[in-house]
Structure 1
Amino acid sequence: MSQDLRVRHISGSDWDAVVELEAGAYAGVGLSEGRAALRSRADASPATCFVLDHGNRTVGYLLALPYPMFEYPDLNRMEDLVLHSRNLHLHDLVIAGEFRGRGLAKCLLRHFTATAGAKGYEGISLIAVSGSDTFWSANGYRAHREVAPPTGYGADAVYMSRTVPGVRTRRTTLAHASSHRAPLEDEVS
């Protein structure tokens, strides 16, 4: 990453920039949620939400929160519960228009994926909107066409997911442990 780029956790002073980026990306397609909804999603999991700074300017953000696989936030309401799941739902990844095409989304995505792995998450899900499923497919996500997101996400919305690279899932761990005499202490909950 360039020396003038920095990924960091969202702070209270970042919300004007995040709201502006979100509106720029989604208002034109009717998907803008507004400050309160965005902030409620970040408040549900501050350790998995980031901004991307270029010099002194915030040029991107990513919001992700724990959600069970095949479930997703309702765009018409704020998050009022923190869900406990080994799956993270990547709700938004936005890069300012003039900074797109420079690999910044992939940079932010790599940072997020590494964080998900370090925190022990097993999977990442998302809903691709506005034709972005090609970007997500190129980054290891696979479509679940059998899951129909609500129409509020747009007519072309696609639910997608991937496993977190390098993280053995609980099912794999327990299956492996059962082939031995006794499971390791940290493999049993």
Structure 2
Amino acid sequence: MTGDEPTPAPASLPPAPARRLPAPAVRVRRIQEGDWSAITALEAAAYTPLGLSEGEQRLRSRAAVSPETCSVLHLGDRLAGYLLSLPCPPFRCPDLDRAEQPSAPGPHAGNLHLHDLVIARELRRQGLAQRLIRHLRRTAGSLGYERISLVAVGGADPFWAARGFTAHPGVRPPAGYGDQAVYMSQRLEAS
């Protein structure tokens, strides 16, 4: 071999198959005391721009009414979302300006009010909200609820309509929910 001859190119190897890392585990569980700082931060990020942020005391008061129907969603080790729901007569909703008053469990008229559902902004559109909604439906059904209601705020009514909730135009939520607030509900399927 002389210095004038080109050096042969090394044999190319086929590209290694792309290795996918396992997706972080998603789990839903009841709210625990150590969750409140993350819940409050998620709530403030979602609702402060709409002028609807309630603050930790009012959020805690709603969860205290019905802890079995309030959940957090973890994506891996991260608290990525939460859901607060409580018994409420049909066509009524909690007052955003007041904390819930502790009371003995009473009749709920078959209605569970989904007060709040938030997923971290950067994790939306991945089906995480749907996981919380499915969990709530199962829980509500097992506790004897027949209907779930909510107030869609900030133009979110199309999101909820796509998940089977129906608007009730004759029901006007309190002014504290904003101009675009829409009261909606859904009958639970019998198991």
Q: TM-score range by the shorter chain?
A: 0.7 to 0.9
Quote the offset at 1:125 in angstroms.
Answer: 0.4
Quote the offset at 1:164 in angstroms.
Answer: 1.1
Indicate which of 145, 154, 164 corresponds to 1:140. Answer: 164
Aligned to 1:19: 40
Q: Does 1:150 align with 2:174?
A: yes
**Contact kept? 2:147, 2:185, Cα under 8 Å:** yes
Indicate which of 115, 139, 142 corresponds to 1:91. Answer: 115
**Contact kept? 1:67, 1:84, Cα under 8 Å:** no
Q: Secondary structure at the match of 1:25?
A: helix
Gaps of 5+ in 2: 1-22
Gaps of 5+ in 1: 168-189
In the TM superposition, what are the counterparts of 1:120-135 in structure 2 within 5 Å? 120-135=144-159
**Contact kept? 2:85, 2:112, Cα under 8 Å:** yes
Quote the offset at 1:81 in angstroms.
Answer: 3.8
* Partners of 2:128 and 2:182 in 1: CA distance: 22
Indicate which of 45, 51, 60 corresponds to 1:39. Answer: 60
Q: Which moved more, 1:145-154 or 1:42-51?
A: 145-154
* Superposed CA offset, 1:18-56 (max 9, x none): 000000000011000000000000000000000000111
Aligned to 2:93: 72
Name the aligned partner's letter for residue 162 of structure 1: Q
* Partners of 2:174 and 2:88 in 1: CA distance: 16
When the two structures are aligned, how many residues end up with a matched partner?
166
Quote the offset at 1:119 in angstroms.
Answer: 1.1
More helix by share: 1
Aligned to 2:50: 29
Aligned to 2:131: 107
* Superposed CA offset, 1:85-114 (max 9, x none): 121000000000000011111111011111
Percent of pairs with identical residues? 55
Q: What is the TM-score of this pair, normalised by structure 2?
A: 0.84
Q: Is the radius of gyration larger for structure 1 or structure 2?
A: 2
* Partners of 1:60 and 1:125 in 2: CA distance: 19
**Contact kept? 2:64, 2:102, Cα under 8 Å:** no
* Partners of 1:16 and 1:114 in 2: CA distance: 27
- Structure 1 segments (4+ residues) deviating >6 Å: none
State the Cα RMSD in Å.
1.1
**Contact kept? 2:52, 2:177, Cα under 8 Å:** yes
